[in-house]
Amino acid sequence: MALRQLTAGDDAFCKDVRHLASLWQGIERAMLKNMQATPRRVSIRFVSVALLMPAVVLAVGLLIALRDRSWLRASETPANEAPTRLGVLWEVPPFAFVDEDGRRVTEQTFRGHPWIADFIFTRCTTACPLITAKMRLLQRSLPQRTLRFASFSVDPEFDTPSVLGEYAARWGGDPRWHLLSTDHQSLGTLSRAMKVAVEPSLDPENPIAHSTLFFLIDDQGKVRGFYDSLDAHDMQRLVADANVLSGDDHSAIRATLTKDREPAAPGSDRVAQGRALASALGCNGCHDNPHLAPSLHGLAGRQVKLEKGAQATADEGYLRQAILDPSAAVVAGYRALMPPYRGHLSNLQLDDLVAFIGSLREEPSSPVAGSSGGTSLDTATIVDPVCGMEVTASTSTSHAALGGRTYYFCSDLCRDRFLENPERYLHRDSGSKAGHE
């Protein structure tokens, strides 16, 4: 439900949109407070629906507002004629924050550059990894040097410039991208001006609830559109609209990015190509964090336990599907946080990624804290007592010590479920190779 391309001269319509955006903000705040009233674990889908339901209200309002606008008639706006400008919705307020490199960044930093902004925090384990993955896709789809990108942290206490720097490094930072630390007062001023809600949450896994929107801002600091990061059509519209502001041909740029390179010559390093592409896509942002996604090391050829008890062999077919349509085969114990890459990669690029993943061997085992005698574990797999997935035990594997034994898990989600009721899982999995003495 992206804002359509609007003529800048229609001030009455832009006033309607600003009013509807204010209503959106009020409804969103009310829904966030209602979500906090009953502390419980919620899925990314629930959070997304709750936060984005106002988009339905906005769409209905837009349809009502647009219904009698004469400039919408096809006779006045030919379908094959691209508009030259997007409507001005509101202006970004003054701000002054410090980015991941310790540089002072203000709204003036972006003057002369169209830019795209979002709101995230690094401790988030639901929507933010998906938003940041979409941000990396945007940066790849929009390679123009004139464009800039900004991510405002909604977690002032935790997200210091150094923490944001580590986050950027995991995601493969783009030199055009500023990750901005904030303070409570300035963040409140900014979020109100941008008409988004940022509220504390009672969910210990995700202590802050916030919007999942991207904003498109012109080179004079005026907001030209806002887009649902979880909607594929909106993301396409954002790329197209950003190209309108930067004066570039979207279709030509996209064709260049997805065009197959020449087939690899014998002896050439497809793995190196895949490694570079994985870095450009920010794959390590999730797969190097066991809280968010399973490790890619040793994945190829292994049996993988999926949601609802299904199993699959991580062969080339599985890996290709997992990249193109990851929600079709979510690994047990994890949320569906990975965006689909269908349409973003050529066939050869997909081959390169599969070759790279196939080259990643199991990480070497090391002494595990909590195991008796401080001995190293061998490379034999250990069974997660909660979901039954086979995991390789190491210091980086999520684990918990109980009754003189150490139990290993595919993720912190399974570990937390285990600790809530150990007897349930120990009784069910008695005799299995779940714990290590």
Task: Tell me how far apart the alpha carbons of residues 132 and 135 are, in angstroms, rounded to a whole number.
Answer: 5
Question: Per-residue pLDDT tens for 321-344?
Answer: 989 998 888 888 888 888 889 988
Question: Per-residue pLDDT tens for 159-207?
Answer: 999 999 999 999 987 899 999 999 999 999 999 999 998 988 887 777 8
What average pLDDT score do residues 135-157 get? 95
- Residue with the larger pLDDT of the pair 314 and 435: 314
DSSP state of 308: G
Residue 112 CB contacts under 8 Å (≥ 6 apart), including other chains: 219
Q: For 404, phi and psi rounded to 5 degrees?
A: 80, 5
Contact between 178 and 95 (Cβ < 8 Å): no
Instruction: Kindly list the structural domains of the chain, giving each domain's residue range(s) and its CATH number in brackets, ordered by start.
Output: 11-258 (3.40.30.10), 270-359 (1.10.760.10), 372-436 (no CATH)
Q: For 104, phi and psi rounded to 5 degrees?
A: -80, 125
Judging by DSSP bridges, how do beta strands 177-181 and 148-153 pair with one another?
Answer: parallel
Contact between 386 and 417 (Cβ < 8 Å): yes
The token pair that represents 318 in the structure block: 């599985």
Task: Tell me how far apart the alpha carbons of residues 61 and 49 are, in angstroms, rounded to a whole number.
Answer: 18
Q: What is the pLDDT at residue 148? A: 97
Average pLDDT, the chain: 75
Task: Tell me how far apart the alpha carbons of residues 160 and 163 are, in angstroms, rounded to a whole number.
Answer: 5
Task: Tell me how far apart the alpha carbons of residues 298 and 358 are, in angstroms, rounded to a whole number.
Answer: 8
What average pLDDT score do residues 254-280 get? 67
User: Residue 363: which pLDDT band, with cuts at 50, 70 and 90?
Assistant: low
Answer whether residue 52 shows pLDDT above 80: no
Contact between 314 and 321 (Cβ < 8 Å): no
Residue 131's SS3 state is helix
Q: What is the pLDDT at residue 413? A: 75
Is this prediction's pTM over 0.75?
A: no
Q: What is the pLDDT at residue 171? A: 92
Residue 403 CB contacts under 8 Å (≥ 6 apart), including other chains: none
Q: For 260, phi and psi rounded to 5 degrees?
A: -65, 135
Answer whether residue 231 shows pLDDT above 50: yes
Answer whether residue 103 shows pLDDT above 60: yes
The string over 86-109, giving b where at least 16 C-beta atoms fall within 10 Å of a residue's C-beta and e elsewhere, is bbbbbebeebebbbbeeeebebeb
- Among 376, 394, 381, smallest CA distance to 434 is for 381
- Among 183, 117, 193, smallest CA distance to 154 is for 183
Contact between 130 and 229 (Cβ < 8 Å): yes
What average pLDDT score do residues 41-56 get? 44
Q: Which residues partner with 250 through β-bridges?
A: none
What average pLDDT score do residues 14-40 get? 46
- Residue with the larger pLDDT of the pair 427 and 96: 96
Q: What is the pLDDT at residue 263? A: 54
